[in-house]
Structure 1
Amino acid sequence: MSTYGERLKHERLRLKLTQAQMADAGGVKRQAQGCYERDVSLPRAPYLAAITLLGVDVLFIITGRPTLQVGAPIQKPNNKSLPSGC
């Protein structure tokens, strides 16, 4: 998933929500939700803050990288790829 809208749609489908449900939770109209998912427009911070209450991983939507879950192991970088002295 390479676009903001694709990641937003992915999260909505992961949570088994309709566009109308997600829009309602975010305080926008269903049409706005569709525009976000098609990368026609970008949602504002209040929308993103509101949908976190549904369990949406907003960090994933913004960066493409999932939020680190508490208790999940942290992957350490391979030391062989680091230059000497690091």
Structure 2
Amino acid sequence: MSTYGKRLREERLRLSLTQQQMALAGGIGRNAQSLYERDLSLPRADYLALITLLGTDVLYILNGRHTLYRSPSVIVPTGNGQLTKN
């Protein structure tokens, strides 16, 4: 069975980060990162929010289901007074 710690580690490795790098980005120490990955401690919401800035799929860490990303639709002026989706 996959746990949040295993999924956190998977995401860290997918992003080619060390425990130290992920911990620094999340505002914690490397030891805390290790505890999270070994399911010995639960990550806090502020940590999870910070690691999303790295491209971490936090939804996957929490429930085992990957987030479906869509590229954003950007509405831009065409130059003739009309708008178009880009």
What TM-score do you get using the length of structure 1 for normalisation? Answer: 0.80
Where structure 1 has 5 or more consecutive residues not aligned to the other structure, the ranges are 72-86
Deviation at 1:69, TM superposition (A): 1.6
1:18-73 Cα distance to aligned partner (Å, 9 max, x none) = 000000000000000000000000100000000000000000000100001216xx
The 3-state SS of whatever aligns with 1:59 is helix
| Larger proportion of strand | 2
How many residue pairs end up in the alignment? 71
Superposed CA RMSD in Å reads: 1.0
Q: Which has the larger radius of gyration?
A: 2
Q: Where in structure 2 are there 5+ consecutive unaligned residues?
A: 72-86
Percent sequence identity over aligned pairs: 69
Q: Which runs of 4+ in 1 moved over 6 A?
A: none
Q: Tell me the TM-score normalized by structure 2.
A: 0.80
